[in-house]
Structure 1
Amino acid sequence: MSMFSTGILVLTSPLHVLPFRIAPVLTSAAQVVERTLYIHLHPGLNLGTGGQVRPAYIPPVVDLCALISRLYSNAADICGHLDVRVLLSNVRTQSAALNGNNGPFATPQTLSHSPEVLLTDFPIQDSGQSSLVTQCLQKYAGHCYVCKPSLSSVLLNPRIAEFEEDRRDAQLKPLETFSDVVVGGTFDRLHGAHKTLLNISCLMANRRFVIGVCDQELLKNKVLKELIEPYDQRVQKLQDFLNDIKPSLKYEIVPLSDPFGPSISDPELQCIVVSEETRKGGEAVNRKRVENGLAELVLYEIQLLKDAHRADIEEEKISSSSLRTRLLGTLLKPPSPQPHLPLDPYVIGLTGGSGSGKSSIAHRLEALGAVRIDCDQLGHEAYLPGTSAYHKIVQEFGPDILKEDKSINRRVLGGKVFGNQERLKALTDIVWPEIALLVKKRIDQAKEQGKRVCVVDAAVLLEAGWTYLVHEVWVATIPEEEAVKRIVQRDGVKEEDALRRLKSQWPNAKLIEHANVVLCTLWEPDVTQRQVLKAWTLLQQRIQKRQETTRSSL
């Protein structure tokens, strides 16, 4: 079956039947669409009439909330690679529908991604009906959305039992809606749980939707906070998503530097949508509103979505922290081209702050077959008598730094540069280039031995500017408070001394800005091992692809 980048799935099954059809329909749709799947809900739509089928308003009912939640939950389980978006432009209250002059789509809505294929769950009675249904589907979709001219259609007929429509005449319970609705969250790496929250909020809002996005202080205790997308990027993704699902709403996206934001001061807000996890936060909002002389907000609670793919260190619910955890060991961004470096060996530059577990990762990579180049050890070699660096250091800092055996007393030398940035730079300007030469020598030796991968274990890889020696930069990271504990336990120093040492190094966020791959040793050793193995396996694939590309270009 041909694959299309973007598609619209028009769901026509009755609301009480749809929950049973979602999983097989999504499975079929995922075989046709590879990037973005829009879902248009029109229960009861008859595409088999052969006449003009035009869009119409459908009322917001309680069942729709459960359906939206189930759609995103199933999508996460079945086709997590797809950006699924449930469209709500044709869902309106009766009063809103009466105010509209030309129905829900006066003009076709332009979506962020122009659809290339139409899909539907409409049941086909016989093969002769397919052409008729396809024509009706295309006309219907053309009234609703701006689609690509060469639009294809696929009729999905999942092999599941038909359900008796014994609720055909049942009265569906209307959903209470509000003029102005508010939610808050981090909204990092927009996922199914976020989309459920946003979709249901849009379903309930008739005029304005206020979204508070956590920033600054509210991020500091998040798991792997350095991997959280920048605020502007998160806001842009929110805007793209919201403008697709219900463009008629007025959206206000504001930064949150405290847990409340505008929810405790905006008198026009009527409802706050919360989850089981954030209900207490919603109750705190209402206490603050009462203190401020404002009416309490209606609290509408949605269920958390279970994560069917969770690992042992991840949360049971679908969450951004779990998604960030899954990024560990993967290629976050492609490495910069290094045309001056030979194909073999492929060189990894591994860095990280004190206590990050960098060296333990280097040893794990060595066990997998990499040649480990220890820059701490090479640093000691650079200070040995007779080396170029040795003579320059003695000349720069004086003979009083020497021991009786003429070796450099590193403690005395350290005292001369400690707290003096100018003198420290004078030392590193001597030592770092010499260490770089030793690294290059070790890499050349590995090449002569036919080794495929080297890992340069270097705490100052980035500060020293040694990235020209490596194909990729890998960063080992650990939260600062955990790093302090490890340094205190390992080196027997006081907490303030450990913290001072960390403050003198590049912070995790700055290191990760330069990283192609990030690893974290926060959890048990076997978790680190799985990360390293994943990183190693993906690295082998990149190396193989690189070699194939090079051979094909010859």
Structure 2
Amino acid sequence: MMANTGLLVLTNPKRVIKLLPMIRKHILKTLYIQYFPEKNIFLSGSHMITSSQWGISHYAQIISNIYTDTSTISSRLDVRVLLTSIKNPNISIINTKKPVEIVIFDQICSKREADTFIQDYLANTSMGCSFINLGDDLNSEKLDSVMPCFLEEKTYKNVVLGGTFDKIHNGHKIFLSEAVLRCTEKLTIGVTDTNMLSAKLLWELIEPCSTRISNLSNFLEDIDSTITYNIVAINDMYGPTKCDSTFDMIVVSEETKRGGDKVNEMREKNNLSKLDIHVVKLINEENHKSYEENKISSSNQRIRLLGTKLRAPQIENKVLKPYIIGLTGGIASGKSSVAKKLQKLGAALVNCDKIAHDLYQPGKKCFDMIVETFGSCILKPDGFIDRKALGNIVFNDQTQLNKLNNIVWPVILEEAKKEINHFHTKGFDIIVMEAAVLIQAKWQHECHEIWTCIIPQEEAIRRIVERNGLTEVDAKLRIQAQPSNVEQINEANVVICSLWSHNVTEEQVEKAWNELMAFLTNQVKI
């Protein structure tokens, strides 16, 4: 059985990559790493790091290398390099928030040596904590090639930094560790609140600010509990730096260096001392796709959420055959393309928009009620409803739109259910109910799960103007009359974004479909 939490006791960072298969095999959720530089940790007293043995920059580089080397497993494992004993050599006890269930040593040791180490130096272990001993092939690995820096480096009592910190990844951990290593008393972190997010890619998938603050606190207090953390929401790029005189240094990344300069410009205007600026290098991501960023980033993580289950489907007390996927999304979001792909994969399609269109025809169930409600001015000379004229009425007046919806929505759902039953009798076990108004009409309760298509508003406007021949003003009105991307996502089990090429959209759909197939297969086994 795999352990949820493990500790890697590391004396040679160059062994990390070769240890990854062992880590993947034995540890499921959290990997702590305690670095003891190039020592035989089983000799008396050798678990302690010699004070001022190496400079901060050297340790920072090694920690950066460790996080970079473990980036291939960080999507599954939460990797945390512990800093307390590096900063405070006299502290030998290894403290972790989560109880350690298994210890991996990168040196050969006897059971007695391992048990003694675990008993003497681990403060939080599970009952029956076990260990893994390395073989000779790894133990002979050459020492780290980074040249140590012995120069005494400046530390700071009060350090500040800022960022979004969505879905904390190894790039964030390097950035935060650089700040923690240089901070002796208090680290203040400004976390961008909602009003600062809209320019970010797939910002609707960013975690709530309170969640990001909580995750930061959990991580930081775990890697070094000897300093104070002040984590606050910020609504502008300056945060507390524009008024707090106690700060000594600000930590920035290569791409936010200009922001650090602007902070100092603001502080000068406010008669505050300028801050020292420490710049952290960005970490490249080797295996990114062409439409992803080439650095380790939260944007890439959000892209990779597309086509995955964001939340489990609500299937309690529901018959699984037929299995209904509610497909929705805003205007010009790519619903039709997704629906066609799902048909190719084997699903039947019930198009509620087409059902609605048919209901507007003379002699159909809703025709007379619509004309009676909105008047003959919405009729064309041939006696058919002029949908553009009707749209001009309802999309500019919520009351009028509600009247139309109350007429057509119940009938659309009734007809959709008939089509679902028809397809099921034809042998289809998975049926897609495509409906732009699915969320507004509260039809999600008729489905097993909801797939929603999103697109940035600017792109939606461009597509509407190009496809429908509307002005930008009219396009915005159409968009504002429907649920926002955030509202759609809040109801969704799966999110698809058609911002990139058609092939990328299809990849997302295939990913979601394959996950659904695995889920349904598992339900049959149960």
**TM bracket, shorter-chain basis:** over 0.9
Contact 1:47–1:136 (CA under 8 A) maintained in structure 2: no
Q: How does the TM-score come out when normalised to structure 2?
A: 0.92
Contact 1:77–1:309 (CA under 8 A) maintained in structure 2: no
> Shift in Å at residue 516 of structure 1?
0.5
Instruction: Please name the residue that 2:103 is paired with.
Output: 118
* Alpha-carbon distance in 2 for matches of 1:418, 1:313: 35
What are the equivalent positions in structure 2 for 1:294-313 lying under 5 Å apart? 294-313=272-291
> Shift in Å at residue 47 of structure 1?
3.6
1:132 to 100, 107, 112: 112
**TM-superposition CA deviations, 1:219-268 (whole Å, max 9, x none):** 11000000000000000100100110111111111222111212343222
What are the equivalent positions in structure 2 for 1:61-460 lying under 5 Å apart? 61-78=56-73, 80-92=75-87, 103-104=90-91, 111-122=96-107, 124=108, 130-142=110-122, 145-157=123-135, 159-160=137-138, 162=140, 172-337=150-315, 339-340=317-318, 342-393=319-370, 396=373, 408=385, 410=387, 413-414=390-391, 417=394, 419-460=396-437
> Shift in Å at residue 394 of structure 1?
5.2
Moved more, 178-187 or 324-333: 178-187
* Alpha-carbon distance in 2 for matches of 1:168, 1:466: 60
* Alpha-carbon distance in 1 for matches of 2:373, 2:146: 91
Q: 1:177 to 1:448 in 2, by over 3 A?
A: same
Moved more, 233-242 or 528-537: 528-537
* Alpha-carbon distance in 2 for matches of 1:403, 1:82: 62
Q: 1:465 to 1:478 in 2, by over 3 A?
A: same
* Alpha-carbon distance in 1 for matches of 2:332, 2:185: 52
Amino acid at match of 1:90: S
Q: How does the TM-score come out when normalised to structure 1?
A: 0.88
**TM-superposition CA deviations, 1:492-516 (whole Å, max 9, x none):** 1111111111111111111111111
* Alpha-carbon distance in 1 for matches of 2:201, 2:145: 46
> Shift in Å at residue 402 of structure 1?
6.0
**TM-superposition CA deviations, 1:316-374 (whole Å, max 9, x none):** 1000000000000111111122534x322221111111111111211222222221221
Contact 1:307–1:317 (CA under 8 A) maintained in structure 2: yes
* Alpha-carbon distance in 2 for matches of 1:404, 1:26: 73
SS in structure 2 of the partner of residue 64 of structure 1: helix
Number of residues of Structure 1 aligned to a counterpart in Structure 2: 524
* Alpha-carbon distance in 1 for matches of 2:185, 2:424: 66
* Alpha-carbon distance in 2 for matches of 1:389, 1:169: 79
Moved more, 527-536 or 419-428: 419-428
Q: 1:489 to 1:346 in 2, by over 3 A?
A: same
Q: Percent identity?
A: 37
**Does residue 489 of the first structure (1) align with residue 456 of the second (2)?**
no
Q: 1:84 to 1:411 in 2, by over 3 A?
A: closer
**Does residue 33 of the first structure (1) align with residue 20 of the second (2)?**
no
Q: 1:167 to 1:31 in 2, by over 3 A?
A: closer
What is the root-mean-square deviation in Å for CA atoms of aligned residues? 2.7
* Alpha-carbon distance in 1 for matches of 2:16, 2:464: 52
Moved more, 274-283 or 327-336: 274-283
Amino acid at match of 1:120: F
SS in structure 1 of the partner of residue 488 of structure 2: helix
Contact 1:25–1:156 (CA under 8 A) maintained in structure 2: no
1:21 to 10, 15, 19: 15
Contact 1:346–1:543 (CA under 8 A) maintained in structure 2: no
1:538 to 511, 515, 524: 515
* Alpha-carbon distance in 2 for matches of 1:472, 1:273: 43
Contact 1:375–1:457 (CA under 8 A) maintained in structure 2: yes
* Structure 1: gaps spanning 5 or more residues: 98-102, 550-554
> Shift in Å at residue 52 of structure 1?
7.3
SS in structure 2 of the partner of residue 438 of structure 1: helix
> Shift in Å at residue 161 of structure 1?
7.3
Moved more, 448-457 or 283-292: 283-292
Moved more, 362-371 or 288-297: 288-297
> Shift in Å at residue 305 of structure 1?
1.4
* Alpha-carbon distance in 2 for matches of 1:258, 1:382: 50
**TM-superposition CA deviations, 1:256-314 (whole Å, max 9, x none):** 21112123432221222222222222222222223333332222222211212311110
> Shift in Å at residue 43 of structure 1?
1.9
**Does residue 517 of the first structure (1) align with residue 517 of the second (2)?**
no
Moved more, 112-121 or 201-210: 112-121
Amino acid at match of 2:320: L
Q: 1:323 to 1:469 in 2, by over 3 A?
A: same
